[in-house]
Amino acid sequence: MNYLPEELLIGAAADLLEGAGHVAVGALSPIPAAAALLARARSGGRMRVSLLGSAQHNFFTDGGRELFDCAAQGRIDAFFLGGAQIDGAANINLVGIGGYPRSEVRLAGSFGSSYLYFLVPRVILLAPQHTKRTLVERVDFVSAPGTSPPGTYRPGGPVALLTGRCVFAFDRAAARFRLATRHAGQTMQEISGNTAFAYDAPPDVPVTREPDAETLALIRGEVISEIAGTYPRFAAQVLAHQFR
């Protein structure tokens, strides 16, 4: 099946959203947005999707503030987070690379990542660029912690890390990732060689489900049509792939 790497990620992310009632997606997140809409299409429209920055798929009238209120009220089931760095304890770094506060590279900042990480029960981490530069042994700055000390009230947290090479499941009790699936064409050696943190892996790791004809039809049709107004360049990239 001929598909883009982004389409594999969209399909894999949609699989991780199965059964969620309300999925929220932050700004500048075309792959999570497409995955949420794909999951909604698969659910027959039963799933609720809120995309910040979208006029069509956003019932919020006050942007992020209402998103945070919904999360605090337990009304968001799944959310996506990324980071310039992600480590083996699912800590993420959105502040800076190098020794803080004199970071060599300053990043955009945490915004509400830590708040949502604590409250949304199903947080999916996304790292399309699976390299040791992104998947580090220990983040340079903890913008949002993957786990919390015993006794901390925390209904939310990470459940998986989806990368350009594989899917890791996260064990919150052990504060450790486990390799769940590997994408087609990716070897165990390539995954370990591009991951700086330690993780668990079973003897036989299945291949990530590839997007079938029905999934690709949904992505390239209904889904892309719905996000084109918010992510026109991304939509054009996916649509152009059909005519190569």
Dihedral of the CA atoms 133, 139, 143, 146 (nearest 10)? Answer: 110
Reading phi first (left if > 0) and then psi (alpha if -120 to 50, else beta), residue 111 is in left
* pLDDT at residue 111 is higher than 90: no
Q: Give residue for tokens 């803080």.
A: 100
Q: Which residues contact 181 (CB under 8 A, 6 or more apart)?
A: 12, 166, 167, 205, 206, 207, 208, 209
pLDDT-based confidence at residue 243 (cuts at 50, 70, 90): low
101: CB partners within 8 A, 6+ apart: none
In single-letter form, the type of residue at position 145 comes to: P
Helix axes 5-16, 30-42, angle to 10 degrees: 60
Q: What is the pLDDT of residue 90?
A: 98
pLDDT at 141: 95
For residue 57, the model assigns a pLDDT of: 84
Instruction: Report the pLDDT averaged over residues 236-241.
Output: 84
* pTM greater than the 0.75 cutoff: yes
pLDDT mean over 49-66: 82
Q: What pLDDT, in 10s, does the model give residues 199-209? A: 999 999 999 99
User: How far apart are alpha carbons 241 and 230 in whole angstroms?
Assistant: 19
Could you give the domains of the chain?
1-76+212-244 (no CATH), 82-200 (3.40.1080.10)
Q: What percent of the chain has pLDDT over 90?
A: 82
CB 242 within 8 Å of CB 220: yes
At residue 183, the pLDDT reads 98
- Residues of the chain with pLDDT > 70, as a percent, come to 98
Q: What is the pLDDT of residue 244?
A: 55
Q: Which of 3-12, 65-74, 78-87 has the weakest average pLDDT?
A: 65-74
Distance in angstroms (rounded) separating the CA atoms of residues 42 and 49: 13
pLDDT of residue 27: 86
Q: pLDDT (tens digit, 9 = 90+) per residue, 3-20?
A: 999 999 999 999 999 999
Give the confidence band of 39 by pLDDT, cuts at 50, 70, 90. very high
Least confident span in 57-66, 78-87, 164-173: 57-66
